[in-house]
Amino acid sequence: MPRRVLHDEFFRRAKAEGYLARSAYKLLEIQQRRAVLGASMAVLDLGCAPGSWLQVAAQVVGPGGVVVGFDLAPVRAEVPGWVVARVGDVLALPASDLLEPLVQRRGPGVLYDAVLSDMAPNTSGAGDHFRSVRLCEAILERLPGLLRPGGSLVYKVFEGEQYPDLLARTGAVFARCKGLKPRATREVSTEIYVVAGGYEPALRHAPKPGGIAPPPPGPGRGWGR
């Protein structure tokens, strides 16, 4: 098994470039290759601490955007005025609480343009893949009350036997869906990111676990490389 290198290239770059964690470079690569964020967008970051994805999202959306993050741990870093970081359990809070910071800034009836999650379950070395899939499924089930039609989703999962099913379930309600493993991911890690765009909540019901649905008809199901 490869030895885990704690202070690698991305750790050093994060320190030098002012990012709170090396994970910033994962979202930066996802953005470079998939363009899930854009200027003036409203973005929800689930499990946002320590705040590196908030930093990246804030840079992309700019002052005309809104970036909202929730985590069980507080974000102690200084953030721009268009970023709101709250403490809370994203799986227990009602959608109205997750939307409230956005509603305060843009008025009622709004939804997010993109939902991000770099969350992972507490790892034990046994069953981590299955717990990460359950976490992603919980996020997928919450999207109708949070993400606008046409919006984007990025979430992390540990690869394993249920990964193809999760990819298919995600692709059943998005026009584009593909897995991506950023260069900043450690060699010893099994994590991969499901990146999806063109949310289509009315397209079809996502299949239940264990049943892989074929992709909906029509072109544009992936981004290529």
**Hey, which residues are catalytic here?**
156
CA distance 201 to 144: 7
Using an 8 Å Cβ cutoff, are 169 and 103 in contact?
no
* 3-state secondary structure (DSSP) of residue 195: strand
Tokens of 20: 């709170």
Q: Is residue 85 within a helix (H) or strand (E), and if so which, with residue range? A: strand 83-87
| Three-class secondary structure of residue 56 per DSSP | helix
Distance CA 122, CA 211 (A): 27
Question: At 81, phi and psi to the nearest 5?
Answer: -65, -20
